[in-house]
Structure 1
C-alpha cells in the first residue's frame, strides 16, 4: 500500500528538519507501538539465536516514507507519503487501510499542524480474495460503520472520490455495478453517486513511477457525496469498502483511490 497526504502543513517551531526522527522512523515506531507492524522477517533472525520465538503477524511490513518525494508534481501540496507491504488479509478482515492512514496522519502530526486537503491510497485489491469472505463479512468493513454513528452531524464533509485502474479500463467497465453495490450497503459513512461532470485530471497526480502499478491513471470514475467526517478514519473505512466491493466485481489489480474535500 502507498499513501500520500496533501494540503497545508506548518511544522512545529521546535522541530529540527535535520532530525534523525524522520518520516520513516516515526512511522515505524508508531506502527510497532500500536501492534500494526509485521516484523516476522526480522524476528526470524532473532529466533535463530533463541532471543524471541512468539511473534505477532501485524498488518504491514515497513518499506519507505518521506516528507517529500522527487516524483511529486510541484504544485501538488504533498505533505508526506508512506509505503508498506500489506500482510496477507484474513478472510473476515478488510485491507488495513484505516489503521494505515491513521498511522500516516499520526506520524505527520507528530512534527507539525496539518490541514488536509486530499488523501491518496494505492489499494492492492489483488490481495483480496472475495471467494473466501464468510457470510457475516462479505464486505468486512461493514462490521464497523457504527464507529461513525456518534459523529456530530455538522462534521459531514462534501468530498470527491476518484477510483482509477490505470491503463486497464477495468473500473469504467464495472462503474455502474460498483456504484450500485456501494449504494445498497446499509451505511451512511459515505452517501453519494457517480459524477460525470468532474474531470479525472482535477485530482492530484500520484507521486510514484507508473511502473509501480499499472499507471498512469487514465481509466477511472468519480463519485461525489458526503463523508461522515473529514478524517483519515472515514477515508480509510471507505477505501476498505471500495476495495472489497471491487474485488467482488472481479477486479484483481491495484486501484488508485483519491479523496479530495470540496
Structure 2
C-alpha cells in the first residue's frame, strides 16, 4: 500500500529547523507503538528469542519529498508498506495505515490536508473468504462515523483508477450501485463521471503498479467528516466492492476536499 498526503505542513515552532526528522523513522515507531507493524524479521538483541506477533504491515519506505512527485501538487509526505495477509472478516488495513501516516506527519508540524491518495492491493483480497456477516467488513464500524456532527460533513471528489486495466470504467455502474446500495451515509454519492487520468500523479514508479493511470471514474459527494479515518474507511469499502466485482488489479484512490 502507498499513502500520499497533500496540502500544507507548517513546522512546529519548537522544532529545530535544521533537524532532518525522517518520515520513515516516525512512521516505523508509531506503527510499532500501536501494534500495527509486522517486525518479525527485525532483530532485537537480547529479545531475539521472543516470538513476535504479526502486524498489519511491514515497513518499506517513506519520505517528505519524492523524486517522482509532480511539481505543484503540494505533496507533503508519503509512506509505502507491504500489507500482511488480510483475515476473512477484516478489511484491508487502510484506516490504521492512513491514521499512522497522518500522525507521523503531524509530529513535525501542523497539517492542513487537502487530498489523500492511497494505492490499494485489491488483487490480494479473496471475496470468497468473506463470511456472511462481513461481506464488506468495514461496514461493521459505520456507526462510529454516523455519530459525527452534521456540520462536519465535507464535499469531496473521489477518483478511482485501475491503471492500464480497463476494469474500473467498465464496472463503474455496478460499483456505484453497490456503494449506494449499502446502508450507510458515511459517503453519499451525488454524481459521477468517467475520468481517465489520475487527478494527482502518484509518487510511485510505473513498475510498482499497473501504471500509467489510464482508466478511472470520479465520484462527487460528501463524507461524514474530513479525516484520514473516514477516507481510510471509504477506501476499505471501495477495495472490497471492487474485489467482489472481479477487479484483480491495484487501485489508485484519490480523495480531494472540495473548497466551499
Deviation sequence 1:112-150 (CA, Å, 0-9, x none): 011110000000001110010000000000110011122
1:114 aligns with 2:111: yes
CA contact (8 A) 1:162 1:203 kept: yes
Normalising to structure 2: TM-score of the pair? Answer: 0.95
Output the CA distance in 2 between the equivalents of 1:83 and 1:239.
Answer: 16
Q: C-alpha separation between the residues in 1 aligned to 2:214 and 2:198?
A: 12
**Paired residues of 2:198 and 2:214 also in contact (CA < 8 A):** no
Deviation of 1:228 after TM superposition, in Å, equals 0.2
Corresponding position: 1:259 with 2:260: no
Residue 149 in structure 1 maps to residue 136 in structure 2 = no
Query: How far did 1:157 drift?
Result: 0.3
Tell me if structure 1 keeps the 8 A contact 2:198–2:213: no
Q: How many residues align?
A: 258
Question: Aligned-residue CA RMSD in angstroms?
Answer: 1.6
Gaps of 5+ in 2: none
- Within a 5 Å distance, the mapping from 1:171-250 to structure 2 comes to 171-196=168-193, 199-201=195-197, 203-250=199-246
Q: 1:90 to 1:200 in 2, by over 3 A?
A: same
The 8 Å contact of residues 162 and 251 in structure 2, kept in 1 or not, is answered as yes
Select which of 127, 130, 143 maps to 2:127. 130
Given the alignment of the two structures, is residue 68 of structure 1 paired with residue 65 of structure 2, yes or no?
Answer: yes
The 3 A distance-change label for structure 1 pair 138 and 106 is same
Moved more, 220-229 or 143-152: 143-152
Matches within 5 A, 1:85-96: 85-96=82-93
CA distance in 2, matches of 1:205, 1:17: 29
Output one character per residue of 1:205-255: Cα deviation in whole Å (capped at 9) or x when no partner. 111111110101110101000000000000000000000000000011100
Gaps of 5+ in 1: none
